[in-house]
Amino acid sequence: MVKQAQATSNDMDTLSEDASALIAATDGVADEKVAEARKRLAAALDRGAEVHGGVPQKGRLIPQSVTAAGRGDADEQEMDIFKVSPVARAFPGQILLGGVAMGLGVLVATQAHRFSWPQWVALGPIALGVFLLLRLWIRLKSCSYRLTNQRLFVHHGWLARHVNELELYRVKDVVVDQGGLQRLLGCGTVTVLVDDATSPEVRLLNISSPTKVKEMIRTQYRSARRREGVRPTEFMQSPSVPVPVIRHPPSPEN
């Protein structure tokens, strides 16, 4: 009987060491199924440690450090997927107008002596060109979009900043809008449709490679749905049932 108990204890020691080694070996694996399996294994080993409280330290079902690491991996960490901003090539008209204004100013400055014009006349078109290009630069720098594996962030503002965040499991669909010129320039707008009455859509304006961005958002929101246990049918509205109108016969006249 004593030998049998000793053999069982040795088997438990071996099992705990193998389980600990397995959790440590899968420490860097980010797959959802692996993380879920690590979580279940860590929980099972913790329960076993509670039942067999008399097991010596070297025969613990799982070391404390490995248990903490397993729990940390089980709760998926938020990771950045991409960060994009509007691109300058999405505004060819404003760039062309600013460049033409500055070029005209330089031309006037170099030819002013031929027409007896004062040199300051050239400051007008140069200042206009600088203003247009500076305005475009501020516009590009005052907006950015960041996607993680859990949320989508929209940053607005240059001096004063406003951040709007969206939980990905609430996304219903993603749409790409591209005109003919935008397709040639490789830019466009991505519209994210959201299950939210206050903000039914979020627009990522004038970004590069919109189709690629759309696919990355789609991949992440589908993963977020699975992680949160949300089914696509929950976002489908049930068709409205017409309410029958009951017509009462006119009351007879007295």
Longest dimension (CA), the chain: 117
> Which CATH number characterizes residue 194's domain?
2.30.29.30
Domain that holds residue 51: 2-74
* 112 and 154 both lie in a single domain: no
Share of the chain above pLDDT 70, in %: 61
* 102 lies in the same domain as 20: no
Residue that finishes a domain, picked among 141, 157, 177: 141
What total number of domains does the chain contain?
3
Q: Tell whether 247 is covered by a domain.
A: no
Q: Quick check: is 79 in a domain?
A: no
Q: Quote the CA–CA distance of 138 and 77 in Å, as a whole number.
A: 33
- Whether pLDDT at 26 is above 80: no
What is the C-alpha separation between 195 and 200, in angstroms, rounded?
6
CA dihedral defined by 53, 58, 60, 63, rounded to 10 degrees?
A: 130
Residue 224 within a domain: yes
106 and 43 part of one domain: no
Task: Return the closest-CA partner of residue 216 out of 146, 141, 142.
Answer: 146
pLDDT of residue 106: 86
- Residues 165, 209, single domain; the answer is yes
Q: Does some domain include residue 179? A: yes
Q: Are residues 118 and 164 in the same domain?
A: no
Is 152 found in the same domain as 128? no
* 72-111 residue pLDDT tens: 444 568 899 999 999 999 999 999 999 998 888 888 888 8
Same domain (yes/no): 178, 121 = no
| Spatial CA neighbour of 167 closest among 231, 220, 207, 210 | 220
